[in-house]
Amino acid sequence: MLNNPVKTDVLIIGAGPAGAIAAANLHRLGHRVLVLERETFPRFSIGESLLPHCMTYVEEAGMLEAVNAHGFQFKNGAAFRHQDRYTWYDFEEKFSPGPGTTFQVDRAQFDKLLADEAARQGVEIRYKHTITQVNLQGATAQASFTDAEGKPGTVECRFILDASGFGRVLPRLLDLEAPSDFPVRQAVFTHVDDRIAEGEFDRSKILVTVHPEERDIWYWLIPFSDGRCSIGVVATREKIALRKEETLVAQLQRFIAEAPELKHLLRNARFNYMAREIVGYSAKVKTLAGDKFALLGNAGEFLDPVFSSGVTIAMRSASTAAKVLDRQLRGENVDWQTEYEEPLRQGINTFRVFVETWYDGRFQDVIFYPNQTPAVRRMISSVLAGYAWDTANPFVDAPLRRMTALVDFCRQQTP
Ligand SMILES: Cc1cc2nc3c(=O)[nH]c(=O)nc-3n(C[C@H](O)[C@H](O)[C@H](O)COP(=O)(O)OP(=O)(O)OC[C@H]3O[C@@H](n4cnc5c(N)ncnc54)[C@H](O)[C@@H]3O)c2cc1C
């Protein structure tokens, strides 16, 4: 490590939603925070459909007014389609207290807004700074970086929060990665000028379409407020490979052509923008925290995009970690396992049950069951709105047991 390190209390790696929220909260609590971010903002990121629960953390970080004022697409629920079956959950009709609406966002704009808000509050963010190495052995933590000109530098700090997303800086450097429980899935996606006629489509909800024959393949359609939609397909790597085409856009269009209702909805769409793919995004770690470090958001665990839980988990992890770290920096003894890792995993595990039973078709049978009682609908709506930590909800308290019982009931009642 080099001489003359930059000194701070907390180094945050990455200025995405987890990094920006953690930085703002710690700064407000009186700690010196430095955020080093590899890119310049705005930069592309996937994850455009937010859940209402994340607005709790946007508000806590003092960013609600800016987010509300930006003009993002209002969102109040999630709609699901499989062949001729169509249903939706209204997030305002939910079991848990808290916000019932949110937004669908172009992440380049949204992430820049959050980072700029953190900077406006006084947080120092240095862009084009890439963390390359860490040393947690001494009394303080040290991290090496290269700056915009490629020059090396060092940060010395009391604690590192890794909010590097799919960069997964500390899991890689500290050998914390563990094999994911999920098969390798792939997403192919783009933005389109959707040109969907008014009244034909509820723009205030994400539309999740299940492939007509292969129920482990699904599509997202996420409308923005400017006439564009984000459209993507998710399938196992093998199933994506079976539909190989010259370009990613052509491959995505081939998938869309297999889902007649979606194809019809997008019949006038213009595929004007670059398509992208992500393979094997699910990630797991041996631990979410250790001596002088904690992992936030995607740098820790990422399950699956199907219920749009990523940004909410990222923000919740940032909020929880900032509170625990504040106490530690003030000299209190804290236990990261019981105060950070275990509580965070409660919600991650709730989502895990929903994701697993989605892909094997069980939760799909619940979603499309037409006679669900309003009470059960509110409990499910709550989890889909991001309230996956409210143990007063039976589907959070005992997710697998409750889900299994509900699946059995719905399947028995369905002719
Ligand atoms: C196909 C797909 C669809 C998804 N859809 C949704 C959705 O609809 N809704 C939702 O909520 N979530 C969704 N997600 C998940 C979502 O993308 C993530 O959960 C979310 O972006 C995590 O935020 P973060 O702050 O942890 O990381 P990020 O937003 O990824 O931010 C990490 C930052 O760290 C920086 N960084 C990386 N390495 C370094 C380094 N070495 N040094 C310095 N900086 C570094 C990066 O440049 C980046 O800016 C989806 C994910 C996938 C794969």
Task: Give mean pLDDT, residues 97-125.
Answer: 98
Token pair 């509170």: residue: 323
Write out pLDDT tens, residues 51-101: 999 999 999 999 999 999 999 999 999 999 999 999 999 999 999 999 999
Interatomic CA distance for residues 51 and 61, integer angstroms:
16
Q: What is the pLDDT of residue 28?
A: 98
DSSP, collapsed to helix, strand or coil, labels residue 1 as coil
* 227-263 burial code (b ≥16 CB/10 A, e <16): ebbbbbbbbbeebbeebeeeeebebbbebbebbebbe
In DSSP notation, 171-189 reads HHHTT-EE--SS--EEEEE
Nearest by Cα to 278 from 185, 164, 169: 185
**pLDDT bucket at 334, cuts 50 / 70 / 90:** very high
Ligand 1 centroid – CA 294 distance (Å): 16
pLDDT of 1 > 60? The answer is no
Which of the listed residues 155, 164, 207, 344 should we mutate to test ligand 1's pocket, taking the one with most ligand atoms within 8 A of CB? 164
Nearest by Cα to 18 from 298, 290, 305, 351: 298
Task: Give mean pLDDT, residues 299-304.
Answer: 94
Write out pLDDT tens, residues 30-40: 999 999 999 99
Q: Which atom of ligand 1 is nearest to the CA of 41?
A: 49
Q: Is the distance from CB of 79 to CB of 219 less than 8 angstroms?
A: no
pLDDT of 315 > 60? The answer is yes
Q: Where are the alpha helices (H) located in 30-188, listed in sequence order?
A: 54-60, 64-69, 107-120, 169-173
CB neighbours of 101 closer than 8 A, spacing ≥ 6?
52, 55, 74, 75, 76, 91, 92
Ligand 1 centroid – CA 34 distance (Å): 19
Q: In the structure, which protein residues have their CB atom closer than 6 angstroms to any atom of ligand 1?
A: 13-19, 36-39, 45-50, 130-131, 163-167, 169, 187, 278, 281, 297-299, 302, 305, 308, 310-312, 314
**pLDDT bucket at 415, cuts 50 / 70 / 90:** confident
Atom 35 of ligand 1: nearest residue by CA position: 14
Q: Is the distance from CB of 202 to CB of 79 less than 8 angstroms?
A: yes
Q: Is the distance from CB of 27 to CB of 175 less than 8 angstroms?
A: no
Q: Is the distance from CB of 188 to CB of 251 less than 8 angstroms?
A: yes
Write out pLDDT tens, residues 73-84: 999 999 999 999
